[in-house]
Structure 1
Amino acid sequence: MSNISIGNLNDNYFSIDFAGKTDPTDTYRFNRLNTGSFRVTAEGFTSVVGMQLLDSQGKVVKDIETNGTNSGTFSIDNLGATNYALKISAPARDTNYQISLTPDGKVDPLTGLGVDSGFFSPDATGQVGFDWLHDGGNYQGEVAIFSVQGMEKFAPGSPEFIKEAARRALSNSILDT
């Protein structure tokens, strides 16, 4: 069992983890400073995953179970300001998963549109599928795929990292060439 303390949930939180026979439940502890909307999304799993949101008294606020490989998502419009625990469990068998916690009012600083998140997950053959997030046609963009091999020397998000990522994307090669 893993206990992860997030602290104040002021921004999006994302984690890739594992649950199963040897580690059946992961608990993410966080607190909300203000009342507002809140969304939890779990994806990337290969078996049934349970998600349970508990308040500071241990009372269940929301409880859902995924079926198979469908994503598990729940939203709460008026989540109070207090401490919470999100429990992720895999009672059936071992599975990896990706969890995303999104507090209210998050917007893209460039477009001003609401932020939605998604995942790029390889299937059993190593192929990556893309699930486009629909925004009614307001946003248009491009996708670049490249290898991050050899980019360890750059700090993620730094100007150097971004410049190298752009160079690799524009080279029409997924490798560092």
Structure 2
Amino acid sequence: MILRDVIRYYELTGSDFPSDLKEFAQLQRQYLADIVDENFTDKYESFTDKLMELWLDRKGGIDNVVKDGLLLPTQDELVKLYCRVISPQEEKEEETTFFYSDSLLRSKKDKAENSQTLELLASLANVDMDLSQFLDMELEVVYTIIDLVGKKKKEEQKKRKQKRKGR
């Protein structure tokens, strides 16, 4: 998903896309391991409903969709549109073992309240980069750029310290 959509997703739903995607991926892994939670359908539909809300917003609202005669995408189409989907050919055919993690046993109250979307925007602002140049980039690319800029700044800082010590 591009950064512009991640920000709009947060504005529309009040939810953090990276966190929601992580939970959705966990839900899918459990399903593939034949572990179906009682509220599987609720969780699946909650995520796809948020994606639908974003899709409708990107199309100009429900009135424009009706006026233009657009068909609403299915849940699977929404997931493919906004999330990177690994096709069966890309998957490695090896046997995996599923271990219950502590996160499955924790209550929702233990969930971190941090928003990765807001933290990303704060990082971009902190690095003094023009946010508009990143809006149409994929989220993973933006994270990679921030990581590289951070590494370069650390290297420059290290060099400056070494020069000071050498004098």
TM-score by length of 2: 0.26
Greater percentage in helix: 2
Greater percentage in strand: 1
Bigger RCO (CA 8 Å, 6+ sep): 2
